[in-house]
Amino acid sequence: MALKYNDFTLQELMAVAAARELKDGEKVIIGTGLPLLGAFLAQKTHAPNMVAIYESGAIDCKPLVTPFSVADSVLAPGSAMQGGLMEGLGIVHAGDLDVGFLGGAQIDRYGNLNTHVIGDYRNPQVRFAGSGGSNDIGAGCKRTIVMMLHQKQRFPEKVDFLTTPGYLRGGKEREKMGFLGGGPSVVVSTLGILRFHPQTKEMYLASYHPGVTIEQIKDNTGWDLIVAGDVKETERPDPELIRILREELDPTGVFLKKK
Amino acid sequence: MKVSKVMTAKEAVAKFIADGMTVGVGGFFHAISYAITHEIIRQQKRRLTICQPSFNEHADQMIGAGCVDRIVSSYVWMEVFGPLHCFRRAMEKGIPHKIEMEDYTNFAVMARYLAGSLGIPFIPIQSMKGSDMMKYSSWMGEGKAKLIRDPFDPKKEYVAVPALTPDLGYFHVQRADEEGNCQMWGIWGDSPWSMRACKQVIVSCEEIVGRDVIGRDPNRTILPGYKVIAVVPAPFGAHPKHTQGYYDVDRDFIFQYIRESRSPEGWKKFMDEWVYGVEDREGYLKKYINTYGMKKFLNLKAKDISSSSVNYGF
């Protein structure tokens, strides 16, 4: 039986990597898709006291069924508190939360995110959704976990539009702005795991996913990406975590494509 | 003796929504009033400024129908379901016409509503600082947001955003009485702040209940009746969105809209069928059951997960 969980998909690897970033007892604002699976996987394993929060105002939710949307109908029943956006994002703005998940169309070398446009803001080639709660989460959460599709155009030297500040132009620039939140701590991409240098705040490659080369990651990054001296392969997921993901969290394959 | 405010969506929209108004739309993915939205489209309202922290297909449909000139929001998209094509066509190509948007964050729009609801002119927030949302504005120019120094601690800077007080708001709730006392549970969305900030409010509801029902659980009232000018009975009035305790979100229908609206022709066909081609919500409901069958309709019905009641005794 165990054998069938020895293999894993890229999505599963990323969900497990996201779960590893969370500590027990943390207050986490969750999105949908892989962040959601990562957070609930953490809650089911090493972080049973994690407080799951949605911007729709569900606080400490214990959904019976994995929610599909940030405002899913399964969120309210069982939650410790159900309010609205003011309750969900007000506590983010107040600096109460430990971790937030972010994503975007583009991220640059200092972790700044763009979810607005590709091209000129006033005459966009492609218009995306906008900030939503992204900028609020980036400003207020103690740290953020960014999940990204790793392609050259999505990892440019400079984002086309700065929706959510990461470390701005690096160094102490973010600190000077006086945000309550500390900025991104990790980028879980489709090719590897990237972190930020403690002083320069520049993104560096910490690990590459199984089957991916460092060269490939550098080729898919729009600047000369720094590689950590101790760079290694991303830790492979424990088969038990894969079982929980497939059988308990996403049995119908809503988020994880069936192989 | 209080006068009943109960009327049809058609009457409410004709009577209270004028071209050029600034309209606050209530809800957050949950409990969006499609009953009122579709009536606005059918009555071909024009030059509206629509406001909501996060917009979904209801905005897309109003944009496609040419009702909207300006948007105050942080988000126009349908989450994991995908992009909204009318919004993108308008922003990228000016189809059916160019629209303007003031880009805020979700919380910033809430903060603007909070200031509006309290009668204060602006509110300082942490969000937006250092972002390009501070660099770019549309018709509001410098009045969109300003970096200000904390008067009590001059070392600190905040983003001041102005109060938002739309001419009119509309939203959907589970139940209301004839005077417009509204009760809502599940995800409140931008309520109560959004609707409290609006000068007057149209509410659509799943059920009209007696004033005594409201009075038995007054903590559940999200908006008092004096703000409300029209009460529109609209069962299934938020479909394809969900209304907690009544019906679930109709994912297939949302996917269908996003698929069909990829081309302007596909969008027109969808709208002819589901908006222009039906008289009102009752007609919509009949058409839904005729098209997809009673079984599918009943599958959307919410399970019974009732709360225990509390003692309000004294």
Give how far the C-alpha of residue A94 lies from the chain's centroid of Cα atoms, to the nearest Å: 21
pLDDT grade for B20, boundaries at 50, 70 and 90: very high
- Rounded CA gap, B64 and B48, in Å? 13
3-state SS class at A240: helix
State whether residue B153 sits within 8 Å of chain A by CB. Answer: no
DSSP A107: E
Question: Residue B1 has what pLDDT?
Answer: 58
Q: How would DSSP label each residue in B148-200?
A: EE-SS-TT-EEEEEE----SEEEEEEEEE-TT--EE--S--TTTTHHHHHSSS
Interface of B with A in 30-49 (CB under 8 A): 30
Q: Does position A158 have pLDDT exceeding 80, yes or no?
A: yes
Q: Give the per-residue pLDDT at B2.
A: 74
Residues of chain B with C-beta less than 8 angstroms from the C-beta of A68 = 80, 251
Task: Please name the CATH architecture into which domain A2-249 falls.
Answer: 3-Layer(aba) Sandwich (3.40)
Cβ atoms of B54 and B74 within 8 Å: the answer is yes
Q: Identify the band that residue A190 occupies on the pLDDT scale cut at 50, 70 and 90.
A: very high
What are the chain B neighbours of A87 within 8 Å (beta carbons)? 188
Where does the pLDDT of residue A6 fall: very low under 50, low under 70, confident under 90, or very high at 90 and above?
Answer: confident
The pLDDT > 90 percentage for chain B reads 98
- Band (pLDDT 50/70/90 cuts) for residue A141 is very high
Q: What is the pLDDT of residue B171?
A: 98
A32 or A19: which carries more pLDDT confidence?
A19
> How does strand B48-51 pair with strand B22-25?
parallel
Closest CA to A71 of B251, B38, B258, B196: B251
Residue ranges and CATH numbers for the domains of chain B are 9-103+165-300 (3.40.1080.10)
More confident residue, B79 or B162: B162
Instruction: Supply the pLDDT for residue A202.
Output: 98
Query: Residue ranges of the domains in chain A?
Result: 2-249
Count of residues for chain B?
Answer: 314
**pLDDT band at A2, cuts 50/70/90?**
low
What number is the average pLDDT over the span B190-200?
98
Q: Angle at Cα A103 formed by Cα A249 and Cα A52, nearest 5°?
A: 45
* Chain-centre distance for alpha carbon B147: 29
pLDDT tens track for B288-303: 999 999 999 999 999 9
Residue B301's pLDDT is 98
> Cα(B1)–Cα(A255) distance, rounded to whole angstroms?
55
Spatial separation of the C-alpha atoms in residues A164 and A134, rounded to whole Å: 6
Q: Could you tell me which residues are beta bridge partners of residue B182?
A: B176, B223
pLDDT at B195 over 60: yes
Chain mean position to CA B161: 21
Chain A hits for B132, CB-CB cut-off 8 Å, are: 116, 121, 161-163
**For residue A43, what is the enclosing H or E element?**
helix A34-44
- Per-residue pLDDT of B28-53, as tens digits, reads 999 999 999 999 999 999 999 999 99
pLDDT at B93 over 60: yes
Which of B99, B103, B187, B252 to probe the A interface (max A CBs under 10 A)?
B187
Neighbour tally for A148: CB within 10 Å: 21
Residue B191: list chain A partners with CB under 8 A. Answer: 84
Q: Is the pTM of this model over 0.90?
A: yes
Mean pLDDT of B215-238: 98
What's the burial of A6, exposed, middle or buried (CB within 10 Å: 0-12/13-18/19+)? exposed
Contact A89, A70 (CB under 8 A): no
Cα-Cα-Cα-Cα torsion A79, A81, A82, A87, nearest 10 degrees, comes to -130
Within a 10 A sphere around the Cβ of A240, how many other Cβ atoms? Answer: 11
State the Cα–Cα distance between residues A131 and A50, nearest whole angstrom.
26
Residues A203-232 have a mean pLDDT of: 98
Rounded Cα gap, residues B166 and B190, in angstroms: 14
| Cβ contact B52:B32 at 8 Å | no
Q: What's the pLDDT band for B3 if we cut at 50, 70, 90?
A: confident
ipTM of the complex: 0.97
Residue A160 confidence (pLDDT) above 60: yes
B106-148 pLDDT, tens digit per residue, is 999 999 999 999 999 999 999 999 999 999 999 999 999 999 9
Contacts of B301 (CB under 8 A, 6+ apart): B246, B247, B248
Q: What percent of chain B has pLDDT over 70?
A: 100
User: Which B residues 120-139 touch A at CB under 8 Å?
Assistant: 125-133, 136
Q: Per-residue confidence at A86, pLDDT binned at 50, 70, 90?
A: very high
The answer to whether the beta carbons of residues A143 and A184 sit under 8 Å apart is yes
A131: nearest CB among B105, B189, B190: B105
Average pLDDT over residues A130-150: 98
Cis peptide before B53 (omega within 30 of 0): no
| Least confident among A204-218, B1-15, B174-188 | B1-15
* pLDDT at A175 exceeding the cut of 80: yes
B202, B168 Cβ separation under 8 angstroms: yes
Q: CA B84, CA A129: separation in Å to the nearest integer?
A: 9
- Euclidean distance between CA atoms A100 and A79, whole angstroms: 19
CA angle, B311 then B312 then B314, to 5°? 110
* Angle CA B190–A62–A2, to nearest 5: 135
Q: How many CB atoms lie within 10 A of CB A2?
A: 9
Instruction: Kindly report, residue by residue over A28-69, the tens digit of the pLDDT.
Output: 999 888 999 999 999 999 999 999 999 999 999 999 999 999
Note whether B255 contacts A: Cβ–Cβ < 8 A.
Answer: no
Confidence (pLDDT) at A91 = 98
Q: Given an 8 Å threshold on Cβ–Cβ distance, is B127 in contact with A82?
A: no
DSSP per-residue codes, A190-229: SSEEEEE-TTT--EEEEEE-TT--HHHHHHTSSS--EEEE
Residue A123 pLDDT class (50, 70, 90 cuts): very high
Distances (CA, A) of A256 to A16, A242, B245: 12, 11, 29
